[in-house]
Amino acid sequence: MNKRNAGIVESYKRSTDVRLSDCYDSWSKKKEEAYDYCIRLKEEKNGKHFRIISSNGWMFTAGFTYIEDGKQYLMYITKNEDRPILLED
What is the reported pLDDT for 16?
96
Sheet holding 71-77, edge to edge: 48-55, 60-68, 71-77, 82-86
- Could you say which DSSP state residue 8 is in? H
* Domain parsing of the chain, residue ranges: 3-83
Over residues 53-65, the pLDDT tens digits come to 999 989 999 999 9
What is the reported pLDDT for 88?
77
Chain centroid to CA 61: 6
User: For the chain, what percentages of helix, strand and coil (3-state, to nearest 5) are there?
Assistant: 35, 35, 35
pTM of the model: 0.93
Nearest alpha carbon to residue 71 among 13, 15, 1: 1
